[in-house]
């Protein structure tokens, strides 16, 4: 949560900061602010989106070729101008931007208060900055040393950038638990929470590691040390990100663009990793640890949000195909409940951003207990990718819409390949069945493209049901996680209460909610459960519920029963989630749009959840 961006070099900083903040807005949009140094230190900050900041700063002095910017997802203190970053130190000499949480801020604040400090905001960040200033004054230290010493007193997570009015030629940045990347240009540096604000200026980047801090000098010198004061040599990497991939490309919203990218994303995800004709699958990230993964007695999948839903699909697939026992855990629960993890266990950590704090903590716990960590991440070089022993990238490209869509499909694709690869090496699948599934998988991108053609039909359905107060999503087998994901999409972006349930569980509770005002979405594409689903549909109809059914093309039985039917191409049942999720994503998109909601930036949410 929170996006940070900073610049030092010969250019004007403000346009770079504002453009960068817009790219990082997916990380939070409770407030936005910048600090610019041009002899004087000017701070402009405003509650709300970056646009509010731009309007506010329109007639202000925005010159300066060193500056820091922030877009906030509130943790300590309500969203308001006063709590917006950057924060200023008591003397007015230092300014800071921060992403993370300082857990012991209360104790530090008390100590500083006793020594006469007062605070303008309710944030932990302002406390940290004044600690830095206090250390600097008391111990007569340079700003970089003061940052280092102060951070050694801090418990929590942070990515920070500090600006010193008296030192206009340096920027100091540090990280622990929150991401930070430094872009290196000619005699200039860019700093950001991810590479998207940097990509158009330079492809040379350094990812700062935990407990490292960097001093960037206007003369082009970059100095990186650990908080223990050990010098590190910067490891410069080339960015592979594409600028056009982080722009809307003619679509009204990022979410819609990302939904439509799914055929290509699934294709990219499979590319070079399988061959149906020859009957092979090769997830490169496994090779080094192949025998440990193949011989795992148990696989634990841990993740959050949409990634947890793809984990549930992974469980069904791995158990069905490879006959290995799988448990799926919310990372936030796993990390705090003393779970049983044995040395031979393999932990699959799934994360689009690769930065989710709970998932990272779950990994650390599993590592302590000697498990092998297999990471499935979208963001290259992200913390989870780096914390894993082995892994596969989903290669879905940057996902900007806060509600995850294409990353989900990519995760499910990887999990399918993983389940098949495990099954092949364990001998739990025949070569002919394996090739049959692989051929079907090759056909999935085209089927997803077909499923996207339901868009107009879905729009009509959205118009009819947009004012409902509740929605129920029901599915069986692999379509149960799809029901959960469909409900989550609707909740996230349209603010309609929605619940996903296994269809057969309806009779144990949710059925009491059904009346003529309750739309019930059935995901009914699995042939093996067709009759059962038909019975569930009858039960809903008998109570006057409105049935919206997602079915395979040509399903006359359900067509005759349902109020609305969306037909999608049939595929192998094991692969059906990749196709059946599409109409549900579109349904949530259109309902949210019709209700006037901000589709890409839903209230209270953030894309990258770097706090617990």
Decide if residue 424 touches ligand G6P (CB under 6 A).
no
**Cβ closest to ligand G6P, residue 564 vs residue 600:** 600
Helices then strands (H, E): number in the chain?
A: 19, 27
Interface segment toward ligand G6P; rule CB under 6 A; list 267-275, 399-407, 545-553, 558-566: 399-407
The residue among 13 and 159 lying less far from ligand G6P, judged by its C-beta, is 159
> Residue 2 catalytic?
yes
Query: Which one among 328, 581, 584, 605 touches ligand G6P, defined by CB under 6 A?
Result: 605
Q: State the minimum distance, in angstroms, from the CB of residue 314 to ligand G6P.
A: 13
Position of tokens 């900041």?
Answer: 53
Of 2, 269, 304, 377, the active-site residue reads 2
| Binding flag, residue 352, ligand G6P (CB under 6 A) | yes
For residue 590, the SS3 value is helix
Among 215, 286, 300, 304, binds ligand G6P (CB under 6 A): 304
User: Helix (H, G, I), strand (E, B), or coil: what is residue 113?
Assistant: helix
Distance (Å, whole) CA 583 – CA 586:
5
Q: Give whichever of 358 and 564 is closer to ligand G6P, judged by the CB atom.
A: 358
Exactly one of 130, 167, 262, 307 binds ligand G6P (CB under 6 A); which one?
A: 307
Q: Applying CB under 6 A, which part among 350-358, 386-394, 438-446, 562-570 lies near ligand G6P?
A: 350-358
CA dist 217 and 233 (Å) reads: 15
Interface with ligand G6P, residue 332, by CB under 6 A: no
User: Does residue 306 belong to the site contacting ligand G6P (CB under 6 A)?
Assistant: yes
Q: Is the bond preceding residue 86 a cis peptide, omega within 30 degrees?
A: yes
Which lies closer to ligand G6P via its Cβ, residue 581 or residue 605?
Answer: 605
Residue nearest to ligand G6P (CB): 305
| Alpha-carbon separation of residue 456 from 192, 550, 578 (angstroms) | 39, 14, 20
Binder among 167, 359, 576, 601 for ligand G6P (CB under 6 A):
359
Question: Closest separation between CB of residue 182 and ligand G6P, Å?
Answer: 22
Contact 430, 331 (CB under 8 A): no
Residue 306 beta carbon to ligand G6P: minimum distance, rounded to whole angstroms: 3
Q: Is 305 in the site for ligand G6P (CB under 6 A)?
A: yes
Listed residue (115, 126, 41) closest to 82, CA to CA: 126
The stretch near ligand G6P (CB under 6 A) out of 27-35, 172-180, 201-209, 397-405 is: 397-405
DSSP 330-358: EHHHHTTS-----TT-EEEEEESSS--HH
Pairing relation of β-strands 519-524 and 546-552? parallel
Structure-token match 């149906």, residue found: 276
Q: In this structure, what token pair is assigned to residue 448?
A: 């997803």
Strand 170-176 relative to strand 156-164, pairing:
antiparallel
Residue (135 or 360) nearer to ligand G6P, CB: 360
User: Quick one: angle between helices 406-426 and 305-322, nearest 10?
Assistant: 20
**Can you tell me which residue has the tokens 């900073």?**
6
Cβ 309 to ligand G6P shortest distance, Å: 8
Q: Which is nearer to ligand G6P, 324 or 599 (CB)?
A: 599
Q: Which phi-psi region, left, alpha or beta, contains residue 157 (left: φ > 0; alpha: ψ -120 to 50)?
A: beta
Count of alpha carbons within 13 angstroms of residue 123, beta-carbon side: 29
> Considering only CA atoms, which of 564, 557, 581 is closest in space to residue 478?
581
Segment lying near ligand G6P (by CB under 6 A), choices 188-196, 214-222, 360-368, 401-409: 401-409
Query: How many binding residues for ligand G6P (CB under 6 A)?
Result: 15
Minimum CB distance to ligand G6P smaller for 178 or for 306: 306
Binding site for ligand G6P (CB under 6 A): 304-307, 351-353, 356, 359, 402-404, 605, 607, 609
- Which residues are identified as catalytic? 2, 607
């Amino acid at each position: 949560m929170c996006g940070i961006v900073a610049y030092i070099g010969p250019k004007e900083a403000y346009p770079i900061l504002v453009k960068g903040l817009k790219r990082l807005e997916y990380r939070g949009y409770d407030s936005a602010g910048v600090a610019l140094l041009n002899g004087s230190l000017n701070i402009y900050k405003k509650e709300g989106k970056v646009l509010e900041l731009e309007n506010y700063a329109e007639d202000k002095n925005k010159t300066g070729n060193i500056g820091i910017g922030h877009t906030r997802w509130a943790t300590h203190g309500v969203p308001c101008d006063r709590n917006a970053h950057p924060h200023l130190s008591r003397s007015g000499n230092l300014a800071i931007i921060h992403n993370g949480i300082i857990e012991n801020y209360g104790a530090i604040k008390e100590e500083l208060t006793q020594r006469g400090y007062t605070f303008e905001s309710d944030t932990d960040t302002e406390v940290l900055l004044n600690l830095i200033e206090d250390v600097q004054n008391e111990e007569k230290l340079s700003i970089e040393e003061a940052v280092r010493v102060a951070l050694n007193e801090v418990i929590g997570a942070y990515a920070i950038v500090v600006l010193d009015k008296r030192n206009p030629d340096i920027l100091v940045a540090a990280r622990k638990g929150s991401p930070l990347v430094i872009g290196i240009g000619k005699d200039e540096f860019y700093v950001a929470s991810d590479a998207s604000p940097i990509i158009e200026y330079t492809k040379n980047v350094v990812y700062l590691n935990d407990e490292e801090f960097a001093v960037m000098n206007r003369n082009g010198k970059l100095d990186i040390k650990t908080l223990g004061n050990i010098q590190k040599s910067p490891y410069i990497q080339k960015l592979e990100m594409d600028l056009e991939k982080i722009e809307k490309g003619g679509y009204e919203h990022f979410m819609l663009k990302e939904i439509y990218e799914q055929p290509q994303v699934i294709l990219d995800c499979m590319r070079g990793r399988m061959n149906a004709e020859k009957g092979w699958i090769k997830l490169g990230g496994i090779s080094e640890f192949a025998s440990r993964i193949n011989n795992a007695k148990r696989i634990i999948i841990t993740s959050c949000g949409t990634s947890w839903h793809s984990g549930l699909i992974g469980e069904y697939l791995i158990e069905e195909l490879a006959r290995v026992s799988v448990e799926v855990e919310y990372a936030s629960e796993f990390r705090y409940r003393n779970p049983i993890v044995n040395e031979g266990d393999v932990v699959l950590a799934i994360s689009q951003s690769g930065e989710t704090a709970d998932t990272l903590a779950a990994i650390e716990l599993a590592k302590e207990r000697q498990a092998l960590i297999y990471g499935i991440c979208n963001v290259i070089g992200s913390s989870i990718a780096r914390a894993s022993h082995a892994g596969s990238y989903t290669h879905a490209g940057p996902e900007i819409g806060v509600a995850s869509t294409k990353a989900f499909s990519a995760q499910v694709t990887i999990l399918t390949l993983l389940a098949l690869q495990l099954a092949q090496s364990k001998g739990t699948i025949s070569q002919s069945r394996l090739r049959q599934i692989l051929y079907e998988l090759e056909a999935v991108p085209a089927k997803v493209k077909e499923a996207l053609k339901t868009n107009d039909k879905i729009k009509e359905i959205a118009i009819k049901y947009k004012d409902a107060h509740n929605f129920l999503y029901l599915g069986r087998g692999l379509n149960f996680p799809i029901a959960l994901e469909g409900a989550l999409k609707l909740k996230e972006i349209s603010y309609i209460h929605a619940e996903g349930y296994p269809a057969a569980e309806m009779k144990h509770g949710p059925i009491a909610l059904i009346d003529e005002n309750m739309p019930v979405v059935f995901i009914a594409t699995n042939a093996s459960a067709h009759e059962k689903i038909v019975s569930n549909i009858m039960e809903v109809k008998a109570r006057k519920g409105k049935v919206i059914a997602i079915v395979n093309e040509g399903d006359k039985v359900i067509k005759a029963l349902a109020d609305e039917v969306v037909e999608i191409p049939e595929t192998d049942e094991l692969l059906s989630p990749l196709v059946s999720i599409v109409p549900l994503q579109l349904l949530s998109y259109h309902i949210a749009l019709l209700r006037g909601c901000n589709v890409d930036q839903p209230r209270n949410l953030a894309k990258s959840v770097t706090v617990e």
